[in-house]
Amino acid sequence: MIKNLIFDLDGTLYPISSGLETECQQRVYDFFSLKLSVSKSDAQNISKQLLQKYHYEAQGVEKELGISQEEFLEYICAVSTDNLSPNYELNKQLSQLPQRKIIYTDSTFSHVRDVLNKTEVDINLFADIYDAAKGNFQYKLNANAFINFCNYYKIIPSESIFFEDRQYNISLAKSVGFKTVFIDEDEQNCKDADYNFKSINQALIFLKDYLL
């Protein structure tokens, strides 16, 4: 029996084509340029070096640059949600499912709130928002992050479905026992996913009978 539905946010609960993640990356460059008083080109190089070493810039800004992860994330996640549209169908779909629902994101609570407000998905449909701060800035970069997430909520992975748009994160979730759903607008398949769908709406339509 499935008791928990765990949702990534960016690229999962809204389409990647909205451009929010592209704007977020641009804000990474802007942050380094402003904070460190360097050119945009140098800022891009700093980002590249952090990604190569840590796989996510936020993981390395404190160790390498002496910048708090919270300050970094609050800046880069303050993206405009103007390109998002209401998703009334998603709100309806989620409201009909009895499972505990949690958003698991490496971004900030304020970003989650802004996205849900713009897409008109009721934040109260979710039992909790597990953002970067709540996870003590341990990002979805290794299996331990998922294990700690499960321990935090007393989740049994085999009783849970994880929805995500990044193949690496799907593989990590699968490795600790989650059932996995890969969301990809271009309809690429992820070999470690139990299910592959173009959108979260499509996924929930297909899985409705399984979940009720």
**8 A C-beta contact, residue 81 and residue 92:** no
Q: What is the rounded (10 degree) CA torsion for 193, 21, 74, 65?
A: 90
DSSP class of 133: T
pLDDT in tens, 114-159: 999 999 999 999 999 999 999 999 999 999 999 999 999 999 999 9
Chain centre distance of CA 117: 16
Q: What is the pLDDT along the chain (212 residues), one digit of tens a residue?
A: 999 999 999 999 999 999 999 999 999 999 999 999 999 999 999 999 999 999 999 999 999 999 999 999 999 999 999 999 999 999 999 999 999 999 999 999 999 999 999 999 999 999 999 999 999 999 999 999 999 999 999 999 999 999 999 999 999 999 999 999 999 999 999 999 999 999 999 999 999 888 97
Distance CA(160)–CA(62), nearest Å, equals 33
Q: For residue 191, what is the DSSP state?
A: T
Q: Which residues of 14-35 are buried (b: 16+ CB within 10 A; e: fewer)?
A: bbbebebeeebeebbbebbbeb
C-alpha radius of gyration, the chain, whole number: 17
Give the residue ranges of DSSP H helices in 37-66.
40-54, 57-65
Task: Let me know: does 183 contact 203? Beta carbons within 8 Å.
Answer: yes
Nearest Cα to 7, choosing from 183, 205, 190, 209? 183
Task: Compute the distance between CA of residue 107 and CA of residue 58 in angstroms, rounded to an integer.
Answer: 10
